Amino acid sequence: MGEETNVFYRNPFADYPMVARGEGIYLVDTKGKRYMDACGGAVVSSIGHSVREVVEALKTQLDSCEFAHTSQFTNRPQEALAGLLAELAPGGLNHAYFVSGGSEAVESAIKMARAYWVQMGRPEKWMVIGREQSYHGNTLGALAAGGNPWRRAIYEPMLYQRPRVAPCYCYRCPFKKDPAHCAIECADDLERAILEVGPEKISAFIAEPVVGATAGALVPHDGYFRRIREICDRYDVLLIADEVMTGMGRTGKWFAMRHWGVVPDMLCVAKGLAAGYVPIGATLVHDRIVDTFTNRRNVFQHGHTYMGHPLAAAAGVAVINYIKEHNLVDKSAKMGEELLRRLHEHLDDHPHVGDIRGKGLFAGVEFVADRATREPFEPELGFKQLVGEAAFKLGLIIYPMAGTIDGRRGDHVLIAPPFIITKAQIGRLVELLHKAIDKAC
Q: What is the DSSP letter of 17?
A: P
| CB of 102 or CB of 400, closer to ligand PLP | 102
Q: Does 42 bind ligand PLP (CB under 6 A)?
A: yes
| CB of 113 or CB of 390, closer to ligand PLP | 113
Q: Does 329 bind ligand PLP (CB under 6 A)?
A: no
Tell me the pairing of strands 404-405 and 281-285: unpaired
Q: Provide φ and ψ at 104, rounded to 5°.
A: -65, -35
| CB of 99 or CB of 343, closer to ligand PLP | 99
Distances (CA, A) of 369 to 301, 354, 373, 377, 381: 50, 9, 9, 5, 11
* Number of chain positions touching ligand PLP (CB under 6 A): 15
Dihedral angle sign, alpha carbons of residues 108, 412, 217, 416: positive
| CB of 270 or CB of 430, closer to ligand PLP | 270
Out of 107, 208, 355, 411, the residue judged to bind ligand PLP by CB under 6 A = 208
In 258-380, beta strands by DSSP E: 266-269, 281-285, 353-358, 363-367
Residues 52 and 326: their CA atoms lie apart, in Å, by: 14
Give the x/- contact pattern for ligand PLP in 95-134, rule: CB under 6 A. ------xxx--x----------------------------
Give the x/- contact pattern for ligand PLP in 262-291, rule: CB under 6 A. --------x---------------------
Q: Which residue is nearest to ligand PLP (CB)?
A: 102
Q: How far is the CB of 291 from ligand PLP (least distance, A)?
A: 26
- Find residue 249's DSSP bridge partners: none
Q: How far is the CB of 198 from ligand PLP (least distance, A)?
A: 27
Q: Does 364 bind ligand PLP (CB under 6 A)?
A: no
Q: How far is the CB of 168 from ligand PLP (least distance, A)?
A: 15
Out of 132, 242, 355, 366, the residue judged to bind ligand PLP by CB under 6 A = 242
| CB of 100 or CB of 292, closer to ligand PLP | 100
Q: Does 25 bind ligand PLP (CB under 6 A)?
A: no
Residues 277 and 271: their CA atoms lie apart, in Å, by: 10
340 C-beta neighbours (distance < 10 Å), count: 20
**Stretch binding ligand PLP (CB under 6 A), from 2-10, 238-246, 321-329, 432-440:** 238-246
Q: Does 317 bind ligand PLP (CB under 6 A)?
A: no
406 C-beta neighbours (distance < 10 Å), count: 8
Out of 99, 245, 290, 319, the residue judged to bind ligand PLP by CB under 6 A = 245
Give the residue ranges of DSSP H helices in 181-284.
Answer: 185-197, 224-234
| CB of 24 or CB of 316, closer to ligand PLP | 316
Out of 137, 249, 336, 388, the residue judged to bind ligand PLP by CB under 6 A = 137
Q: Residue 160: which of 128, 197, 191, 131 has the closest Cα?
A: 128
Q: How far is the CB of 427 from ligand PLP (least distance, A)?
A: 28
Out of 184, 244, 314, 340, the residue judged to bind ligand PLP by CB under 6 A = 244
Element (H, E) at 321: helix 310-325
Amino acid at 276: G
In 231-286, beta strands by DSSP E: 238-242, 266-269, 281-285
Q: How far is the CB of 259 from ligand PLP (least distance, A)?
A: 16
Does residue 148 contact residue 402 with C-beta atoms inside 8 Å? yes
Q: How far is the CB of 110 from ligand PLP (least distance, A)?
A: 12
Chain centroid to Cα 40, Å, comes to 12
| CB of 270 or CB of 437, closer to ligand PLP | 270
- Cα 412–Cα 418–Cα 419 angle in degrees, nearest 5: 115
Q: How far is the CB of 214 from ligand PLP (least distance, A)?
A: 9
Q: Does 216 bind ligand PLP (CB under 6 A)?
A: no
For the chain, the C-alpha Rg in angstroms (whole number) is 21
**Stretch binding ligand PLP (CB under 6 A), from 125-133, 239-247, 299-307, 397-405:** 239-247
123 burial level (CB within 10 Å; 0-12, 13-18, 19+): exposed
Residues 119 and 36: their CA atoms lie apart, in Å, by: 49
Where on the chain is the footprint of ligand PLP (CB under 6 A)?
42, 101-103, 106, 135-137, 208, 212-213, 242, 244-245, 270
